[in-house]
Structure 1
Amino acid sequence: MRDALRRSSSRRAEQRTATISTFSLLSLCLPTLLAIGSARANETPLEPAAVEFFETRIRPVLAEHCYACHSAAAGAPKGDFRLDSAEQLRRGGAAGAVIEPGKPADSTLISALKYESYEMPPSGKLPDNVIADFEQWIAMGAPDPRSDAATETVPAAADPQSHWALQKPVRVAAPPVSDRAWPRSVVDAFILARLEAANLKPSAPADPATLLRRLHCDLTGLPPTAAELEQFAAHASDAEYEQAVDRLLASPQFGERWGRYWLDVARYADTKGYVFQEDRNYPTAYKYRDWVIAAFNGDMPFDKFVVNQIAADQTGDATAVAASGFLTLGRRFLNNPQEINDDRIDLMTRGLMGLTVACARCHDHKYDAIPTADYYSLYGILASCTETPRDDGPPLLVDSPQPVVQHVYLRGNGGAHGPEVTRHFLSCLTEGEPQPFQNGSGRMELAQAIASRDNPLTARVWVNRVWGKLFGRGIVTTPSDFGVRGEPPTHPELLDWLAVTFMDEQWSTKRLIRRIVLSNVYRQSSAPRDDCHEADPTNALLAHMNRRRLDLEALRDSLLLAAGRLDMTMGGPSVQLTTPPFANRRAVYGFVERQNLPAFFRTFDFANPNTPAASRPQTASPHQALFMLNSPFALEQARLLAERSAAHAENAPPLADHERISQLYQLALGRKPSLEELTDAATFVVSGVESDQAAQLAAQPRWQFGWGVFDPLSDRVDFHQFPHFRDGTWNGGETFPDAELGWAMLNIQGGHPGDAAHAVIRRFTAPAAGTLRIEGELRHPAAEGNGVVARAVSTARGRIGEWPVAHGASSTVVDGIPVSAGDVIDLVVESGGEHTSDTFLWKATLRLTRDDGTVESWNTLDGIDGPRPATTPPLDRWSQLAQVLLMCNEFAFVD
């Protein structure tokens, strides 16, 4: 196949993709993917998600339970072991290292926390979920962003009057540029100004087919059809493109695509995580998911979208109550209210405003201007609310009759109360002293403050998330951290201009997306540029478009779409995506298991549903290639695509090979094959006929056991497999004799026929061409009855032997029968007349001398097989060709 299908060329040279046999493809993929993984592992910078996990799950526990004895502040650390810096933690203490990165089971720290070796902390064993966090952290490689200095200098908290993210965005005029012809909009002017300052130029526009595919995948998560691509390319113009944008924004699939992005932020799942003695499921979680999709399709103003999700019970809109799932569908932490409220604070502040307020749970924020009192002001709001279960939707968060009096929890310990705090908004986002909220818990006032135009963060954060989804990287590359430790924006004036314009246009997400995708910067080619390698190696200045891999949802949906199986029904209960029979709904409707996320989700970088996701990682691993090569789901779609490619008009002749190949390419890649691809594919398909037949024969069982009728006029056997197997016997059912098949049965020794319509049959399938000899003995041991009649019947030659036996034995020999691969030999036994006392014994040996001289033999006394487990049959050549097209970069990536 390497020679037959050397590559799958697109219209662009850089998009050429090898189309080789699945085995050869894997041999090429693995070294590259392993190298990528190795290089990624050796990078110095930590992944933002890893830093976030350490800061929110590990550092607070160390600070509360460990630093008193194991830090520089402790004077002489016990065991000469410190936990307050990354270097000291890795080094360990007098007894040696306590962590083995990647190996929690081999780490002394874990056995100490479990009280299996040492007992740490000595004040009491930590909860199981906290220990599980440490195991997960070590399994991740024990990422630790702390300084390795002996005494770490903590920088002063950011001045709320000076840090860029805490200043109100200002819409400035578009900057002047030298190339006045290129900018199509203000967005382009901001981008071009930075490019010109770096002596770079923007790239040429993408070709029409590439641009339309990009637009479809970005706005709906589904590729365009071949007909849509062909029509757009034939009439490409600004007007046609603008019409395509408006059509896709109005499509119901828009909400499914962009709603899923929001569900990442909302850490959506259909289960609670680890709980004890209660239902682990959120049975109606899907109502929140459907509300989100409908909100995006209806272009709900984003400020209203935010308020509905925080204070759904107080909006007066009965249709908005499902929005309460934003807060109530999180991880349950064994129903620990302190952990649940911490999760909700993190969701609202990091997810909506890009501030890591949860870091102030135990102490004032180390970097940002967020005092612990601000954390507990928000905590008091949530502690003044209760959950109301609902049968027709997610639990509803409502205000308690009496708000709580909230105190700071010293070092995050709920049993150690510090100063009392009011329920108020964040001080860094308030002019002067924050004023206490007045109405109930203050949750509605909090929602309005977050969604306020006076809040400098909310619009910026959402605009940046939208930009990041469309370009593969945000203007701020830490989309959930706009604080001091976050990355500064690459184009701060553009970010502010977009944020102010977004708010001026009624917080319309669709208008924001429309403005961006109509820009020239979005329409650029993604072809790599040699002149950008040194000046802008990460393409932060956007001198060209970024090539992006389809995420899990878009990849799965595209596979189903190519196979002709995608069900476009919207809404409803979640479905299982990973178990057969495989659901054909869009992946956004898949069941998300929070505690045990299936391997398929993890392999393709699905967002962690335990925490608000800043963004999804983009990894390349051998497991992704192996999934496409071997998973039953991927194989099923390849077969269905191959079958679909053979479709032709009713009463029309079957498609010729070149017509079917062309149809296959259009269904998979949206284009016709080149002449070279067509020639190579045709050669590959024709050359595989014999190997396909051999593979199918190898997958078939040598013996089958059933019942049927021998027709003496046609010398043919009507064969039906026995439905029931137990204790080495095939028969008609649990009850014997069976109501339909009577006494018909087969076992290793022989069997018993039923009536005239139910002879018993051992069916043998020849695995190869050659000469077959049958040799054996048939016995009828009973003294009663009138015996049985046995026959050997070939599908190719008819009756080749017949032996009636009554009250005795007979030799059963057939010699020198030519057979072809796949020929069937039926050993049939029926009653001699009466249907009583017909038990028979038949020992037979079948010996095949293949055409190449090798000899194989099978003896009926060697055993009798029960039902074979369901197996996936091997792909034929057409299905292999379909699989290669579904695996190629042209299918899996968006340029």
Structure 2
Amino acid sequence: MPLAISLFVSAAAQAEEPAAEAKFSPEQIQFFEAKVAPLLTKHCSECHSAESRKLEGGLILDNRASILAGGDSGAAVEPGNVEDSLFIQAVRYGEFSYQMPPKAKLADEEIAIFEKWVADGMADPRGGEAITYVEKDPRDFWSFKDPQRHDPPQVKQADWPQGRVDHFILAKQEEQGLSPSPPAAPTTLVRRLYFDLTGLPPTKEQIDAFAADSSPEAIEKLVDQLLASPHFGERWARHWLDVARYADTKGYVFQEDRAYPGAYKYRDWVVTSLNEDLPFDQFVAQQLAADRLPEGERHLEALGYLTLGRRFLNNKHDILDDRIDVVARGFLGLTVACARCHDHKFDPISQADYYSMYGVLGGTKEETPEGMPPILHDEKPHDVRIFKRGQAGNRGDIAKRQFLSVLTDKDKPLPLTDGSGRLQLAQAITARDNPLTARVFVNRVWGHLFGEGLVTTPSDFGAQGEKPSHPQLLDDLAVEFMEDGWSVKRLIRRLLLTATYQQASADRADCRAIDPTNIYLWRMNRRRLDFEASRDSLLVATGSLDETLGGPAVDITANPSPPRRTIYGQVDRQNLPGMFRTFDFAGPDAHCPIRPETTVPQQALFMLNSSFIMNQADKLARDSAPQADPQQRVKQLYQRALGRDPSEAELKLAIQFVTSAPSDPAPATPWLYGYGSRDSETGKVAQFTPYASVSADGKTWQAAAELPNKVAGWSSLNAGGGHPGSLKFAAIRRFVAPTGGVITIEGKLRHKSENGDGVFVSIIGPGGPVGNWKAKHGGAATNVEQVEVKAGDVIDFVTESGETISNDTFEWTVNLLMRGDTIQAWNSASDFNTQRPVDAWTQLAQVLLVSNEFHFVD
């Protein structure tokens, strides 16, 4: 039997005369509204309201008359009589009464509120007569009805719509007294299209080319070009990976490998499938039952949708619960997992429905082929018994493997008994008479393009979810999507070519006064780039992006960060890096229908201080250095970062900034790190070249990203020591005196290897060398009694190889104590950092890369 949801009608129709309304003082009414009503809502309404999906005990607490009428056990309250009121006995957890609420007894102060309320006569301003509960077929709920095509509504502004979609949008606007916004400028629209379709920004040349194309087909040509781009699949795959709760690791497990070594094969399959426009019904079938498809059609890596979830210490019941959830919410927009322990409180999903899906998804065996994500194949499929209260040891009736009862005919269940039933489940999910799947997916696509779905709860189309703002439009699009062969690219194309999508995003006070949250789309929503688009855009602006498709995950938190697209970054389910969390990345523990969007200080601090941002700003500035003319250099920075030329005011301000800054900026700390050689006559460093790169782990300065560098060899420095390159390219730790004074130096040198010919070190002050030492298979103290310096003088700590450069790794730390106007101290190890000095051009580049214009799309 299908579960029922409630309609309610007044019992007054059956009464001869309405009961007289009780009179209460303002103080009594105030007590009810401030104290009693919140407790009723919090603890009672779920089961004892006319809006409850399933009414318990026949008792409705929605108004005074219903409370007095009571339920199956009679009147709930006898006003003025605390001891004899069943309601009070229940909340007191009386020995011979019901105990309510059933989850836990109320606090003593809450019970006291109810007792005072009853004792004072049960004041309740909610008037009306007792409500009668009437059952209704749950299939009458809007999302369980089959979607239908609708004729486009008539509109007054008939020259605005560019297709069916626009008629539905404009009709709603006109009903509300709204009007659409003018078209967006070409330079705005081209950026919007690039980000929505590829997740990458257009170059200035691409922006200018689109703006210069005045043909009527310009937008269509660009949309088709971007839909054909391999970057389309990367962008839209990331949207789907949120739905699939994708991660490269299992979460917390015990005594086993935490990694899913072949997880990336599922991610790459999603990218390829979207690029090839695999019909969505096949997309679903592959992810649920690829192993059951014919040999030539199967893509086993697609089963990662089911198998790449959290492992829950390999608790089978929790793993299957996670899979039920990702299937039900991901494809159907239903919270079926809520019925694990009891019938769903709000939606027509029973425990039998839950354990039916449990049987379907549990009748499998999992294995992990080499280089693949875990896959499934059927093994001894069978029906399972319901777990009473969700407890595996407390078995109830058998739940036959069949499709959700609310989505099938009342008296004709749809069995899922072919093997495990997973292929039949996929076919039922994508059947033309399933009212949910097309609606749910169309709504997800709409949300990604317009900033918010027509249904703002994209994975909850049940009673607790929001109703659609444009129900006829959603239905029309859903039917058209199915009739169009479930083509994702055609759906997206159709939406992009609407006047609605192509509107400007500027605010309009008159429309905002009517529709402040833009429900009726009188303008386009301005949107902030998500984490992936933001990081990828920084790599594009600096010409660093590696456009290689697919492959194993990389650690994008390393320093320097690999220039791969962010979708290829390692997602560690148990230890999600702080950078991901800071920028609202989808939590990989469970299906994520909507990413949170926060604005927190950590985001600004990352943009100001992170090595990734600084490296991109530094590269952008260095790439512009060949421009001798400062004005041309500023223009190049704007063109690369923002895709446009600076205004006259911006150009003037930038020139003023870079020309007024010192040409040789002071370092953030007194230490510099680089390589060079010594002059044979003076013993001083003849040429000092700062290291250009930081190692992947962010702990070592070196001449290039990979060692040995063709110029400086193995030359590198870390907090505790390093490695020289050769006699010509020593490793040099340079101290720049911030003030004048006398410095005492104490140091320890160690060459630990038992091989090689050791290393030579020198301390070189402003006047020349003040000490030389050698370490071979051992160590030496490197102490200098005093070195006199002025502000800006340097002391170089130089390490050179012997005749050979093998086995020359060394440890050398020094303490510096300065006596002058004040006493200051430094330690080469604790002061070590991988941040290079920032000049004015790099600061200007950073300002552009962290600007709102860079990280928002109009």
TM-score normalised per structure 2: 0.72
Spell out, residue by residue over 1:401-430, the C-alpha distance to the aligned partner (whole angstroms, 9 max, x if none). x22231111111111111112100011110
1:160 aligned onto 2:138? yes
In structure 1, give the amino acid aligned to 2:846.
Q
CA contact (8 A) 1:800 1:814 kept: no
Is 1:695–2:690 an aligned residue pair?
A: no
CA RMSD after TM alignment: 4.0
The offset of 1:75, in angstroms, is 2.9
Corresponding residue of 2:335: 356
Deviation at 1:706, TM superposition (A): 11
Change (3 A) 1:444 1:241: same
Task: Quickly say closer, same or farther: Cα 1:212–1:764, change in 2 above 3 A.
Answer: closer
Alpha-carbon distance in structure 2 between the residues aligned to 1:90 and 1:639? 64
Give secondary structure in 2 for the equivalent of 1:662.
Answer: helix
Matched, 1:571 2:550: yes
Deviations 1:468-523 (A, max 9, x none): 00000000000000011111100011001111111111000000000000100000
Q: CA deviation at 1:625?
A: 0.9
Shift in alpha-carbon separation, 1:610–1:845, aligned structure 2, 3 A: closer
Distance 1:429 1:163 in 2: 11
Q: 1:783-813: CA deviations, max 9, x gaps?
A: xxxxxxxx99887xx879999xxxxxxx999
- Find the aligned partners of 2:407 and 2:677 in 1 and give their Cα distance: 81
Q: Which residue of 1 aligns with 2:659?
A: 686
Contact 1:775 1:812 in 2 (8 A): yes
After TM superposition, give the deviation of residue 307 of structure 1 in Å.
0.6
How far did residue 873 of structure 1 move?
2.2
Corresponding position of 1:20: none
Match of 1:664 in 2: 637
- Alignment correspondent of 1:340: 319
Aligned counterpart, 1:114: none
Q: Would you say 1:891 and 2:844 are equivalent positions? A: no
Distance across 2 between alignment mates of 1:570 and 1:757: 41
Q: Is the 8 A contact 1:699 1:873 kept in 2?
A: no
User: What is the rounded CA distance, in whole Å, between the counterparts of 1:626 and 1:305 in structure 2?
Assistant: 41
In 2, the alpha carbon distance for the partners of 1:458 and 1:510 equals: 17
The counterpart of 1:546, out of the listed 525, 529, 538, is 525
In structure 2, do the counterparts of structure 1 residues 417 and 700 end up closer, same or farther at CA, with 3 Å as the change threshold?
A: same
CA distance in 1, matches of 2:583, 2:669: 31
2:228 corresponding residue in structure 1: 250
Q: Which amino acid aligns with 2:144?
A: L
1:428 aligns with 2:406: yes
Give 3-state SS (helix, strand or coil) of 1:194's partner.
helix
Structure 1: segments with no counterpart, 5+ residues: 1-43, 45-69, 95-152, 648-653, 724-755, 777-790, 804-810, 830-843, 849-853
SS of corresponding position for 1:568 = coil
Counterpart of 1:869 in structure 2 is 832
- Using the TM superposition, give the Cα deviation of residue 266 of structure 1 relative to its aligned residue in structure 2, in angstroms: 0.4
1:86–1:512 distance in 2 versus 1, CA, 3 Å: farther
Segments of 5+ residues of structure 2 without an aligned counterpart are 1-37, 39-87, 113-130, 692-726, 746-761, 773-783, 801-814
> Identity percentage over the alignment?
50
* Aligned residue pairs, count: 675
Decide which of 416, 419, 423 is 1:440's aligned counterpart.
419
Give the SS at the match of 1:397. Answer: strand
1:232 alignment partner in structure 2:
210
CA distance in 2 between counterparts of 1:881 and 1:767 reads 25
1:499 aligns with 2:478: yes
The Cα of 1:71 is off from its aligned counterpart by 12
Summarize the alignment of residues 481-496 of structure 1 with structure 2, pairs less than 5 Å apart.
Answer: 481-496=460-475
**2:378 — aligned with what?**
399
Structure 1 residue 586 corresponds to structure 2 residue 544? no
- 1:308 equivalent in structure 2: 286
Q: Pick one of 495, 517, 535 that aligns with 2:496.
A: 517
Counterpart Cα distance in 2 of 1:267 and 1:157: 37
1:75 corresponds to: 93
- 1:274 offset after TM fit, Å? 1.4
Three-state SS of the structure 1 residue aligned to 2:397 is: strand
* 1:377 Cα deviation after fit: 0.9
Q: Does 1:190 find its partner at 2:168?
A: yes
Q: CA deviation at 1:337?
A: 1.0
Alpha-carbon distance in 2 for matches of 1:607, 1:154: 44
Is the counterpart of residue 624 in structure 1 residue 603 in structure 2? yes
SS in 1 for 2:356: helix
Amino acid at match of 2:644: R
2:648 is equivalent to residue 675 of structure 1: yes
Instruction: Measure how far apart 1:579 and its partner are.
Output: 2.3
> Shift in Å at residue 646 of structure 1?
2.4
8 Å Cα contact 1:708/1:760 also seen in 2: no
> Residues 452 and 71 from structure 1, CA distance in 2 versus in 1: closer, same or farther, beyond 3 angstroms?
farther
Q: For residues 205 and 337 of structure 2, what CA distance do their matches in structure 1 show?
A: 51
Residues 708 and 720, structure 1, Cα contact 8 Å, conserved in 2? no
2:82 matched residue in structure 1:
none
Query: Residues 417, 799 of structure 1: CA spacing in aligned structure 2 closer, same or farther, 3 A cutoff?
Result: closer
Amino acid in structure 2 at the alignment position of 1:673:
P
Deviation at 1:701, TM superposition (A): 3.2
Write the letter of the residue equivalent to 2:384: Q
Note if contact 1:711-1:717 (Cα within 8 Å) is conserved in structure 2. Answer: no
Note the 1:25-36 alignment, pairs <5 A.
Answer: none
Rounded Cα–Cα distance in structure 2 between residues aligned with 1:200 and 1:720: 67
Structure with the larger RCO, 1 or 2 (CA within 8 Å, 6+ apart): 1
Compute the displacement of 1:219 (Å).
Answer: 0.5
Which residue does the alignment assign to 1:555? 534
Matched, 1:379 2:352: no
What's the CA shift string for 1:658-688, capped at 9, x where partnerless?
1111110111111000000000011011111
What's the offset of the Cα at 1:547?
0.6
CA distance in structure 2 between the aligned counterparts of 1:157 and 1:620, rounded to whole angstroms: 46
Shift of 1:880: 1.1
Q: State how 1:51-200 maps to structure 2 within 5 Å.
A: 75-76=93-94, 88=106, 159-200=137-178
Amino acid in structure 2 at the alignment position of 1:869: F
In structure 2, the partner of 1:711 is 681
Alpha-carbon displacement from aligned partner over 1:336-392 (angstroms, at most 9, x marks no partner): 111111111111111101111111111111111111111111111122111122113
Residue type of the partner of 2:445? V
TM value normalised by structure 1: 0.69
Separation in structure 1 between the aligned mates of residue 796 and residue 414 of structure 2, nearest angstrom = 91
The answer as to whether partners of 1:710 and 1:717 remain within 8 angstroms in 2 is no
DSSP-derived class of the 2:217 partner: helix
SS in 1 for 2:502: coil
**Conserved in 1, the CA contact under 8 Å of 2:671 and 2:733?**
no
1:703–1:239 distance in 2 versus 1, CA, 3 Å: closer
- Going from structure 1 to structure 2, the CA distance change for 1:679 and 1:665 (only over 3 Å counts) comes to same
Superposed, which structure 2 residues align to 1:753-792 within 5 Å?
A: 765-767=736-738
Aligned partner of 1:735 in structure 2 is none
Letter of the 1:501 partner, please give it. E
- 1:225-280, Cα deviation, whole Å (9 max, x unpaired): 01111121122443111111000000000000000000000000011111111111
SS, match of residue 666 in structure 2: helix
Deviation, 1:889, is 1.0
| Paired residue type of 1:240 | A
Cα gap change, 1:450/1:719 in structure 2, threshold over 3 Å: closer, same or farther?
same
TM-superposed CA distance for 1:603, in Å, is: 1.0
Structure 2 partner of 1:468: 447
Q: Match of 1:119?
A: none
1:154, 1:628 → 2: CA distance? 60
Return closer, same or farther for 1:823/1:574 CA change in 2, 3 Å cut-off.
closer
Aligned match of 1:215: 193
Partner letter of residue 468 of structure 1?
A: G
Q: Counterparts of 1:356 and 1:856 in 2: how far apart (Å)?
A: 67
Q: 1:888 and 1:497 mapped to 2: Cα distance?
A: 40
